Amino acid sequence: MSDENYSWDDYYNKIQGRAPRQLLLDALEKYPAGEALHAIDLGCGDGTETTVLLSRGWHVHAVDGAEAGIKRLMNKVPVEAQVRLGTQVAKFEEVALPSADLIHASYSIPFCHPHHFPALWGKITNSL
């Protein structure tokens, strides 16, 4: 967010309590329950989708460019689920992605500068 009158905290406050994205919920129906699966939440924001993944037993690597999002995420995650959560504060041109069974990106990809998109896409496809 480049507008100095608006911050990520303003955005997170506005969306607080929103439902998880239906696209993620639909995708999760395609995976067998009870398996130790790994997901990346790329641009995790306030952690709404990360917490859904964790609640279903997934191991999650949550990435966001704003530390404020990671802090909000950590406040949502129960202590017992934190052992299955890794976090990373990084811009897309700096992100390191582990192997994953699923990558959720919601509305984050447009924040990748077009110059860095080919490298990011390569990282995404290599981690799957």
Q: What is the CATH number of the domain that holds 71?
A: 3.40.50.150
Question: Considering its fold, how many domains does the chain have in total?
Answer: 1
Has residue 102 been placed in a domain?
A: yes
Greater confidence, 14 or 74? 74
Average pLDDT for residues 4-19, to the nearest whole number? 73
Distances (CA, A) of 60 to 31, 56, 82, 93: 15, 11, 9, 20
Q: What is the pTM of this model?
A: 0.88
Please give the pLDDT value at position 58: 96
Which residues form the domain of 63? 8-127
Greater confidence, 102 or 7? 102
DSSP 8-state assignment for residue 65:
S
- Percentage of the residues of the chain whose pLDDT score is greater than 70: 95
**Between helices 48-55 and 67-76, what is the axis angle to 10°?**
40
Element (H, E) at 34: none
Residue 73 pLDDT greater than 70, yes or no = yes
